[in-house]
Amino acid sequence: MLKFKNQLELSPRLKSAVGRSYSKNRLLKISSFVFLLVAAGLTVNSLWIVFGKTSIPTTDTSAPQVLGAVDTQPQSENQEIKFEEYKVKKGDTLFNISQEFNIHWMTIATLNNLKSPFSLKPGQTIKIPR
């Protein structure tokens, strides 16, 4: 009989691929390692935020704040927000009034407890911050 019966010749391309593929276990080990690195980084970051020396800046909520109002000068503790009363005329809209006083319309609506559709009636008096 022939000697070559049990021998097989592989092409060079197949020779390079045999035995070199990543097994499922190796991929699982690599992905587990990457996951642990990410988890450790997040843990360290969380601990740094909780116990770190930097603090989250807080705003002073002692004085009431009006959305859309711009302070050009810092307010002293004794100074209060002053309001101007405006009597609504026929044809006035919340937007037109806000443009006239240079204040956002939503600020006026919030201060005067106006609900949607934000309709105004002639003769109605509304407060406008100065």
How much is the average pLDDT of 93-114?
A: 90
Tell me if 125 sits within 8 A of 92, measured CB to CB. no
Domain contains 45: yes
Q: Name the domain count of the chain.
A: 2
**Domain that residue 34 falls in:** 24-52
Percent of the chain past pLDDT 90, that is, above it, reads: 18
How much is the average pLDDT of 71-99?
A: 80
- pLDDT tens digit string along 21-73? 556 677 788 888 999 999 998 888 888 888 875 555 555 556 566 666 666 66
Domain contains 47: yes
Q: State the Cα angle at 98 between 82 and 94, rounded to 5°.
A: 110
Domain contains 57: no
Distance CA 11, CA 32 (A): 35
Whole-angstrom CA distances from 119 to 19, 75, 110, 122, 128 are: 78, 33, 13, 10, 16
Distance CA 5, CA 43 (A): 61
